[in-house]
Every structure is written in C-alpha cells, then in structure tokens.
A and B are shown apart, each in its own frame.
Chain A
Amino acid sequence: MTDRVERVASSLLGSAPSKTPSVRALSSYASHSDCATASLAFAARADLDRMCTGTDYESPIGQDPQAFQRGQTFEAMLKGNGYGALLDLLREEASFPPTAVRIEDLRTRYPRGTGGLKLRARETRRLLQAIANGEDEAPNLIDGAVITGNVAGEVAYYEADSLAAIAGGKLHVGEIKSFAYTDGRCDPEKFGAACDQAAWYILLCRRALQDMGLDPHVVSDEAFIILPVGVGLTPTLLRQNIAGKIRRAQTLLETAPDPAELLALHGPDLQFPGKELDPQARLDVLERLLDAVGTTYRPDSCLRDCGLAQLCRARAHDRSLPQLCGSQVLRNLPGVGTLGRAAELAAGAAPGIGEDHAARALRQASTVYDRVLAGGAL
C-alpha cells in the first residue's frame, strides 16, 4: 500500500473492529465482492462481523465451541508426534518419502504479531524458491506459511491455515477440515469452501513465485483435502483438481476494484463506527456509511456469513426491495423497483418504462389467483 492509501484506510477504519488479512478472510470476502460496503471493509480491514455487536442486528454467526474444539483436536492429532499421522497419510496417498522428511513449521518457530509475520513471509519466500529450483534441501512439508500477496493493489501478509506438501516435485496445498467424510460423501458446500480456500493459497503461491521469476507451475492444480472418516477422527486424504476455482480466484484479483480508488471515492469523513460507541450510535454511523457507499443484499449468500446481513435485510425491508425474497422472486420481477410496486402492477397499475414485461405477468397472475380464490376454479 502506498502511504496515502494506508492513511485513508486507517482513517476509514478508525477505532472500528478490525481483522488481519488471511487466506480464509480473502476466500470469504470473495463471495461478497459485488457489495461495495464489503469491498470497502476489505480494503480498510474492518471486521463487519463485529460491527453490529449488541444491536438488534447482531447476527448469530460465530463458531460453536464444540465445532471449534473438534477442528482443533483433529488438527492436533494430525500434527502431534512430529506430524506422524499426517506423514503416514501423505506416504500412503501422495507417495511421500518413507524417511528423511523435511518439515518446516513456521508457525511455532517465529513469534506472534507483525514482526513474526514478516519473518515468516521471508522464510516462506525462501522455501518456495528452494522448491521451485528443485534444491536438495527443499522442504517436504510447510506448515504456517505466510505469503506476501498483492490483492487489488494492496500488499499484505496472508497467513495460511493450510499446509504445503511437496510430492513428486510439485507443491500441493493441503487443507485440513473436520467435517466428516462417510461412504464416499461429504457436505458439498463445505467441501467446495475448502477447495476455494486452497485455490486462494495456490494462487498466492503462484504469484509469489512469478514475482521471483520462478515457474509458477511448480504449484499443482491438485489440492489435498484432509478429512476425518465416519464418526471419529481417522483421517483420509482426497485429491481434487481445482483448476476452475483457481481461475475464479484469478478473476477476482483481476477485476477487484482498486482500494485506493475505492477509498479516494469516499471523502475523508467516512468512517466505520468505533467499537467504543454505544450500539445505537454505532448503528447510526453504519447506516450513514451504507447510504453513502451502497450495498448489494443477497439473502441466500449474505445471511450465511456476513455480519451486516441482518441490518441490510432490515434496510431492504424498509425500502420494500425485491431482493428481500431471494433470487427466484427477483428473476420474476425484472425492471420492478420495489415489492410495493409489484403489488400495484399486479393490481392493474399502468406500467412505466421497463416494467411492461413483469407487469403483464403480474397482472395475469393476480387475475388468475383472485379468480381461483373467488370461484374455486381456474
């Protein structure tokens, strides 16, 4: 980031809750990249999930302690005893060498905090270089890599939860997740999200290699997704080619709005609400910001994982927006601005410009519906 952008970003953030860049955050932002507020928050590193805390719009999103513990336990089990269980799995499924495996655990080696991140980023770069050059001392496994990524003009250190496993001269990104894999099946949404995260890691690694003038294709399209089988925590490794998802990540990077422009667009007065404000004051600031910046509310994706979704929903309701009903209803109301207007058109109001198609269908639906209700027949 340039100094000026950095200044605007930090003035925008003010004392609002913030979050550190991570591959996970990047991946989840990708589902909301068409929302101007989400983009701005991403640029300013504001944590939208904590913006509405204490208000009526606080969303119930948050990790369940049991779910968290299960994830921790599974990961600890894989990495315990010098990564014993994980290495066994990699030997079985990814032809890892039986002996002399070089493991680089960057997470425990360096201190927490920004200083540690920088050191880890430097070390990650060095290791990637060794892998790309096929050096003898290249590692077989990297845990806790930090990749310096330039996302939409913004340079940041992206901490990866995932592993990098080097098999057959190729670097494979490994995601450890604790949802169950039974009878050859697992939750497609969760599996898709795990693959998406791996795709971001792969993309960042490739760009890092490219920046160093090295061959980006040393990073494989094939991700390793590691899941527990059945009831317990016995791990399995699934190999999945995620080329399509990597291309998607690439598209986002290419099309993402430049945060400098985004920030410049909104004057210096704009600010995310500080966490010290009382809930009502915070909402007032937030509403002003939403009015100025604009949002894209899509219930089926926003309500899943955005902390502002409940507020956006209430605003959509107040404005009677068709978005409230989700994409299926929306598709049937092309050109119609509000649900209220849709009801008027259904009742026979004269359609305005762009409304005639939907109006005809609405009017007809309304006539038939009322005829059935009145006469009991079509």
Chain B
Amino acid sequence: MTHFDQTVIDAADTIARAVREDFMGIADEGAVTLTAIAGAGKSTFVRDTVNTCTSAGMRVAVAAPTNEQVFSLVASIADSDPAQAVAYVPAQRVELPAWAQRPNVQIVRPAHQAGNATVVVGTIDKLAAARNPRNSGVPKLGTFDALIMDESYQASAGRYYAVADIAPRHLCVGDGGQIHPFTTVEAGMQWRGLGEDPLQTAVGVLRANHPETPLHRFPITRRLDSRGAHIARCFYPSDHVFGAAVADGVRQMMLGSMVAPTARDRALDHALDLATERGWAHLELPARQVLTCDPDTAEAIVDLLIRLRGRNARLVCERQRTPAPLEFARVAVGVAHNDQKDLMRALLDAVGLTTVVVDTANRLQGLEFDICICWHPLAGLDEADEFHLEAGRMCVLCTRHRHACIVVGRAGDREVVETLPPSTPAWPGIDADMILNGWDAHRGVFAGLEQVRVAL
C-alpha cells in the first residue's frame, strides 16, 4: 500500500526548489515569500533551506513570532544536522524546554554573543532587541547573510521592522489563512490600507514596498488528509491549489464498542463514528441563543471526550502503522474566548481529562494534534460580528487535526450566515473584505459539514 500521493509531493518539491532557487539568487537586498496552507510542512522546508544556506557558506538567522514556534524550529534544525551548531537566543525568563534540547544547541545569553554563529534562532522580538538594543551601551548582534522567518503572516509589519536589518536576504514563510495581526485599540486601525500600517503582515509590507517580490504557493498539506483538505479549501483563495500528501485511507481511527443506554450517548457515538469514517462530524445542540460561555456546549464537549475515552480509540497513520492508543495530550479543544477556555479546563480537569489541550484559536496557531474538537465561534449567536466571523479563527480550528475534527455548535448557527451579510466599510488599497470573506468561509464550512451533521 502506498502511503503518499506522489504527485502532490512532487509538485511541492518543485515549488520548494523554485523558492530556494529564487532565494539563493538574490543578489543584493531582496526577499522571497512562500504561502502555505495549514500543516504544509513549512518547518521542514525552513529546516532544509537552513541547510542549503549553510552548505553554501551563508550565515542564517531564523525567526518566528512565538516562543513555542521557536522551540520547534530549534529542535528541528538541530536534528537535521547534528554536526551543525545551532545558537538559540532565548527571550527573558524563557527556558528551552527539555524536549527541544539537543547536544548541538547552544543557549546564548546575552544574545549579542551569537554574532559569530552560523545559525541563530530566536523569536522576532528577541532577535530584534539583540540587533537593535534600546540601550546604546549594549553591544549589537551583528548581521547575517539571510533571515528566514516562519509564520510571517502572524508577524506584523511593526515587529518585522525591528528585525529586518539583520540580513539583506529574507525568506518569509507563512500561512495566509490564519488569524492576522490585530489590535484592540480602535485608533490602531487608522492606517488600514496605507503603506505605513503596522498591522499589515510582514508579507504584506514586503509586497507593498517591493511588488516584484516573488510570491510562491505551496501546493501541499502534510497534516490534513484529503478529507481535511476538502474543508480547508474554504479558507484559501480558489487559485491556491493544494492536495494532501498522505494517501486516502492511511489515517485510520478505530473505536471500541461501548453500551449506549441513552439517546445522548447514541448521538455522541454517531458523531464519533462519523468522525472516524469521514474525518469530520458536526454535532449540533438544539437551536438557541446563548451567551458565549454556554455551559451546555461545554458539557457536550466534555461528554464527547468522555465517550471517546470510553471507546478506546486507536490510531493508524503513515508514521504509526500498527494501531496505537490515542494519547489525550494529542487531543485539543479549540475555542474563541478565554472564558470558554477557563470553563472547559475546569470541567475537563474535573473528569480526569487533564492532558487534553484547551486553548483559544490564537494560541493554537502553528500547533498540530490528532483530534481537534472545535467549539464553533458562531455557536448560539443571533448575529455575527467581525470577531466571530473571522475566517482565520475558524481556519485555525478546522486545520489542527491529523485524524478528525468534530465541530460542536447549535442548530441555529447556520442561519446566522444564511441571511444577507451587512453592508461593510471599505478602505482604499484593501481589496479583501474581511467580514464578507468570513461570511463566505463559514457558509462553505457549513455546506461541507452537511453530510456529517448529528443532532444532540
């Protein structure tokens, strides 16, 4: 049995080669951007590109927005070439977790001492502070030949500014479908559409100032299989063509049997069975308008996970070819609000599901799980607003899983986006309409889940 779709992988390799060729071909100052969908194997690509650079005698700085993303990069780059020393510059009060430590990783404090390293890795903010220290008495971190930035759609132009002079050549890799930089201050929106907007993405500011910057698109997802990719297409422009690397039927979940005495148990089982077969289930509580922190939805998610535990789920995939029990640390509950998160955490701890990860979409960006339970952002709302509609939020929640995603909401949720979208404001220079895009994406997801809907 073949585990992979070779055409998809070949197409991705072709793009990867083209990106590296463009990147290595930058003569003076310049950048190359690569847009990928969720789980495209960006980190692998970053790692390989670092190696390409070092083999060519280049010194490289590698950056990402958050500490967690940087930990993964450090481990991945260090593993790829144990002979190559990797300098990690930690942010204040941050320790490299044990799982990311490697013999060839050097932790460099203060950061400017990493100036001679061949490969240095840190958060955007940390590298920026080292390169351009506030205090003129502190020595500056020197420049490198190249900057490789992961998750560059999460990096705002303002943060990018601070680190950009670290190297003349930039490679910006990221996922354009996720949550974009935002602010809670209304006046912070005043620069929308202007070249100086600090809230545009790093890729955005590059493209605005240097329109000739090549924009490549990765045509692959390694995390999602074709079932997952099907829904993920709702979040990306239709001309961004991509396929799943893993072949159909390779990812399998197997559930044990369990007595289902009540109708509720049977409905939960049905959702789990659908998720097993189709990779998706959409569990709907009865239509009702509720406050965002709805205890019934939280309870439904807890019951679903208890049921999943009871049915002894076992998984098979391209990495694990004999059935292995599902680890609950590889299960995430994704929510939109912090109060939902607090409630979920308390309820899950109370039933002993302490290892299940619960977090808001913002903080789940870039993470991967086997199973994801998505608390639908529109659940129980009578009217959709910009925050809840944001396509990026739903995109994150729907693209974290390798095996299955179960969306939990209420029966009336679909109607919220079936009415006419509101008239929306517009800004010269910004063609994409966030509200209407969110509206369209949500409709697409609801339509895609039509066949896997279960009433609770």
Contact = CB atoms under 8 A, between A and B. Distances in A.
Question: In the complex, is A directly touching B at CB under 8 Å?
Answer: yes
A188 B291 contact: no
A192 B383 contact: no
A248 B436 contact: yes
A361 interface: yes
B237 to A, nearest CB: 10
Given A185-B194, A245-B436, A248-B436, A334 B291 contact: yes
Contacts of A242: 426, 431, 433
Identify which of B288, B423, B439 gathers the most chain A CB atoms within 10 Å of its CB. B423
A57 interface: no
A358 B428 contact: no
Interface stretch (A29-37, A114-122, A206-214, A278-286): A29-37
A224 to B, nearest CB: 12
A191 B420 contact: no
B421 A251 contact: yes
A357 B290 contact: yes
Given A186-B428, A191-B427, A195-B426, A245 B420 contact: no
A189 interface: yes
Nearest to B426: A192
Interface string B433-446: 10011011000000
A240 B431 contact: yes
B289 interface: yes
| Secondary structure class of chain B's binding surface, majority of residues | loop
B424 interface: yes
A243 B437 CA distance: 10
B383 A330 contact: yes
A64 B440 CA distance: 37
B433 A244 contact: yes
B382 A193 contact: no
B103 interface: no
Interface size class of B (residues with CB under 8 A): 35 or more
B256 interface: no
A12 to B, nearest CB: 23
A196 B422 CA distance: 11
Contact of A244 (B295, B428, B440): B440
B432 interface: yes
Contacts of B194: 184-185
A97 B351 CA distance: 74
Contacts of A65: none
A181 interface: yes
Contact of B420 (A34, A244, A331, A332): A34
A192 B424 contact: yes
B137 interface: no
B381 interface: yes
Nearest to B439: A248
B380 interface: yes
B288 A334 contact: yes
A244 B420 CA distance: 13
A238 interface: yes
A335 interface: yes
Given A184-B193, A244-B436, A334-B382, A191 B421 contact: no
Contact of B291 (A34, A245, A251, A332): A332
A191 B428 contact: yes
A101 interface: no
A184 B427 CA distance: 10
Given A192-B425, A334-B289, A335-B289, A34 B382 contact: no
A80 B431 CA distance: 31
A240 B428 contact: yes
Interface string A185-204: 11011011111100000000
B438 to A, nearest CB: 10
Interface of B: 190, 192-195, 288-291, 294-295, 380-383, 385, 418-429, 431-433, 436-437, 439-440
9 contacts: A30-B420, A184-B194, A185-B193, A188-B427, A238-B428, A245-B433, A247-B440, A301-B422, A335-B289
Interface of A: 27, 30-31, 33-34, 181, 184-186, 188-189, 191-196, 225, 238, 240-245, 247-248, 251-252, 255, 301, 327, 330-332, 334-335, 354, 357-358, 361
